[in-house]
Amino acid sequence: MPVEISVGMPVLSINHGSTFMVTDLSGEITAESEQGVFANDTRFVSYYAIFANGQPWTRLTSAATTYYSARIYLINHAAATE
């Protein structure tokens, strides 16, 4: 009998005690997802996004560096100066 393995979307997860955060690889929390900032079985943040001049940032790289921290490198698109 074959075993079926299902893999979800990649996420960043960090925690401190009973508080933890799950985001996409850009550090954003997508609405209508299982992502967020949680503490004691309560979700306190259910949406978080970063914009510069109305444009989303582009992720270069990201990783959880320890169980309690993550490093995310983002760049913004060229913006008009005048």
Local confidence pLDDT in tens for the 82 residues of the chain: 899 988 888 999 999 999 999 999 999 999 999 999 999 999 999 999 999 888 899 999 999 999 999 999 999 887 777 7
Q: Report if pTM > 0.85.
A: no
* pLDDT in the model for residue 53: 84
Please give the pLDDT value at position 8.
81
Q: Which of 43, 51, 46 is nearest to 76 (CA)?
A: 51
Residue 9, pLDDT score: 84
pLDDT number for residue 16? 96
Cα torsion through 73, 12, 26, 41, rounded to 10: -130
